[in-house]
Amino acid sequence: MHARIGILLPRSTDYPAMGYNITDGLRLHLQQKGITPEFFMENIGYGEDAKLTYSVAEKLFLSQNIEVLILYSTSFNSEPLYPLANALQKPVIILDAGMQLPGSAASPHCYHITLQGVHACRIAGQMAGKGSKKVLMATSFYDGGYRGPYSYDRGLSEAGGSVCANFVSAYKIAEFNIASYMDHLQHAGAESVAACFSSYLAELFFKALHQHNSAAVPLPFYCSPFMAEEQLLENCQYPGGTFYAVVPWGRSLQNKVQENFLHTIAAEKSKPANIFHLLGWEAADVVQQLLQEGVASLAHFSWESPRGTVAFHPATHYTYAPLYEGMIIGDENGKCRLRITGSNTVSAEEHLKVMTDIPQGVVSGWTNNYLCI
């Protein structure tokens, strides 16, 4: 079987191979399924230019006659493509870290494969606030522009906890410090820390904690999923202390699909698999389904992935899948690594509750795709 597939590639300074990893995961898994892909690619930069994304998507559909379009994008940046997909009656698959919430009703032709970032943050918030704890909310200026902190707050409230202080780090490397965080530790009466960082800002936070030694880590941390991303952790100094996290996937998970996935990426690319390989890999399962059964079949489609059973919700058109509890621990070189400790089954009802719990009133945030900085 042959497939003409359009791909809109993102740009990321901290994850420069993001687009390549997505494409490799997609290509390798399609080939395993006996599908020969013909890729037509365009670059959309950091994803913040909706007009550019629309223009190159339209170009691929009309001039290259692609059968399906795949892109890495947030909800905010992908929803302007809904009218185009509906008008052309062509499928669009959006790959997403899941750190935003939907702003539009689902499109019959658009489906999101998400890593469930906001749902993971909500569970981490429940853990941090369990027992009506007072919680110090620590995040970066960058992560504060997405819905991670909001989801933490919702989880905290569900557990009876409350935010007693907020620390927001600087965005620029030269201005990054944790002086106000250290002050909050001494005076706010916090019993745990909800930590929402990603990318180079997570690395800077770990480094700063390490420099302040044990005085910076007296409380348990409950970390966002992309603060515990394994490729990132390899570069982070372990500061001691206790760090819990909720993640969508980890290399240590064990199942037959995972075994094939890890082996294939390692054998073909000579590197360990990461979350971007995973998104491309899962997109191949969706491409096969829509080519064989049509896009309407995706509304009730589920499949086995390296992270467990993944399913589309018929109301949201977003995926839901298990989320995993873990700990960030030190390795033999003093760096951080992730250890998976348990799993959380995510039901269709829980998924719908999280995805429809939208902030009310005036909200603001960054427009670039998450992790594309």
pLDDT tens for 24-64 read 999 999 999 999 999 999 999 999 999 999 999 999 999 99
Q: Is residue 148, in this structure, part of any structural domain at all?
A: yes
Q: Say which residue the tokens 């992790």 belong to.
A: 371
Q: Are residues 54 and 185 in the same domain?
A: no
Residues 6+ apart with CB under 8 A from 237: 206, 207, 210, 334, 335, 336
Q: Are residues 237 and 330 in the same domain?
A: yes
Q: Is residue 46, in this structure, part of any structural domain at all?
A: yes
Q: Are residues 37 and 81 in the same domain?
A: yes
In the three-class reduction of DSSP (H, G, I as helix; E, B as strand; rest coil), residue 196 is classed as strand
Q: Are residues 312 and 336 in the same domain?
A: no
Q: Is residue 22, in this structure, part of any structural domain at all?
A: yes
Domain count, the chain: 2
- CATH number of residue 192's parent domain: 3.40.50.2300
Q: Are residues 211 and 340 in the same domain?
A: yes
In the three-class reduction of DSSP (H, G, I as helix; E, B as strand; rest coil), residue 182 is classed as helix
Which range of residues forms the domain containing residue 196? Answer: 119-247+323-355
DSSP element (H, E) containing 351: helix 348-355
Phi/psi of residue 365, nearest 5 degrees: 175, 175
CB 10 within 8 A of CB 97: no
pTM more than 0.85: yes
Q: Are residues 197 and 182 in the same domain?
A: yes
Query: Which pLDDT does position 360 carry in this prediction?
Result: 86
CB 125 within 8 A of CB 151: yes
Nearest to 261 by CA among 321, 313, 305: 305
Nearest to 100 by CA among 48, 172, 43: 48
Give 4-42 as a DSSP string.
EEEEEE---SSSTTHHHHHHHHHHHHHHHTT-EEEEEEE
What are the CA-CA distances from residue 330 to residues 242, 273, 333 (Å)?
A: 10, 21, 8
CB 131 within 8 A of CB 351: no
pLDDT tens for 321-353 read 999 999 999 999 999 999 999 999 999 999 999
Q: Are residues 221 and 270 in the same domain?
A: no
Q: Is residue 259, in this structure, part of any structural domain at all?
A: yes
Q: Is residue 373, in this structure, part of any structural domain at all?
A: no
Provide the greatest CA pair distance for the chain: 64
Query: Which pLDDT does position 289 carry in this prediction?
Result: 98
Query: Which pLDDT does position 362 carry in this prediction?
Result: 66
Q: Say which residue the tokens 């899962």 belong to.
A: 282
pLDDT tens-place values along the chain, 373 residues long: 999 999 999 899 999 999 999 999 999 999 999 999 999 999 999 999 999 999 999 999 999 999 999 999 999 999 999 999 999 999 999 999 999 999 999 999 999 999 999 999 999 999 999 998 999 999 999 999 999 999 999 999 999 999 999 999 999 999 999 999 999 999 999 999 999 999 999 999 999 999 999 999 999 999 999 999 999 999 999 999 999 999 999 999 999 999 999 999 999 999 999 999 999 999 999 999 999 999 999 999 999 999 999 999 999 999 999 999 999 999 999 999 999 999 999 999 999 999 999 998 767 889 999 999 8
Long-range contacts of 54-63 (CB under 8 A, 24+ apart): 54/80, 54/81, 54/84, 56/8, 57/6, 57/8, 57/81, 57/84, 57/92, 58/84, 60/6, 61/6, 61/88, 61/90
